[in-house]
Amino acid sequence: MTIEIVLLAMVAAFLGLRLYSVLGKRTGHEQEHMPRSIDPRAKDNLPDDAKPHVPDIAPAAKSAAPAMVYETAAESGMRDILNADRNFDVARFVEGSKAAYGMVLEAFWKGDREELKALCDDDVYESFVSAIESREKSGEVLENRLVRIEETKIVDASYDRPMARITVRFDADIAAVVKDKDGTLIGGSLTDAVETHDVWTFMRDISSADPNWILDETDEA
């Protein structure tokens, strides 16, 4: 994806546990699409489990898998992952991936390199940082907001021992605003939502004691 769009050890560990808690087991978009009007009566149309903050997830009970949670192309890979990790919960992974999506976007928009470092692999992290540095050099500030995630679906999955990879498509609405260093509006609007379609791949070493999934690749649908 062309992006236009650790701390102390204890803090780094905390960030890792956040992603662990939302993925699986146990987790700028300045795109030119047709805008969608945001209902001004709604303070926040984003579901709780899709916000940048990780929702509470009960550790004991597994979720019932939602209908059509993954496409046919992902079936074989998902079976391989489930056979390799009997504790993996597909439905909770999907719900957690939405929270991770919001966390990463929020960190990118704010220029929070430390949180991005905890959530992404090196290549994705460097891409985000490059975009942040370019934005900072030009004096631009993003005031984006993830309004809602319309649909989340697993579109591909693979297990190449010991690495599991799951690719998720996010269809979302984002309110995008760009300002200069003095706070003057350059473009965008918080009253209209931009329709976005992102395809992100998360990966995890199943054989590792580290339970964390990290963002391995980003693209646009």
| pLDDT tens for each residue of 129-174 | 999 999 999 999 999 999 999 999 999 999 999 999 999 999 999 9
pLDDT at 165: 98
User: How many CA atoms does the CB half-sphere of 53 hold within 13 Å?
Assistant: 4
Tell me: pLDDT of 47 over 60: no
User: How far, in Å, are 110, 134, 200, 208 from residue 154 at the CA level?
Assistant: 27, 32, 10, 23
Pull the structure tokens for residue 10: 């204890």
Q: Cα torsion at 129, 156, 78, 58 (round to 10°)?
A: 50
User: How far, in Å, are 7, 48, 114, 200, 214 from residue 193 at the CA level?
Assistant: 33, 18, 28, 21, 27
pLDDT at 4: 36
The answer to whether 82 and 92 are in contact (CB under 8 A) is: no
Q: Which positions ≥6 away from 25 have C-beta within 8 Å?
A: 85, 87, 88, 89, 92, 211
What whole-number distance in Å separates Cα of residue 211 and Cα of residue 206? 8
| pTM metric for this prediction | 0.72
What whole-number distance in Å separates Cα of residue 96 and Cα of residue 92? 6
Fold (topology level) of 9-53+86-220: Nuclear Transport Factor 2; Chain: A, (3.10.450)
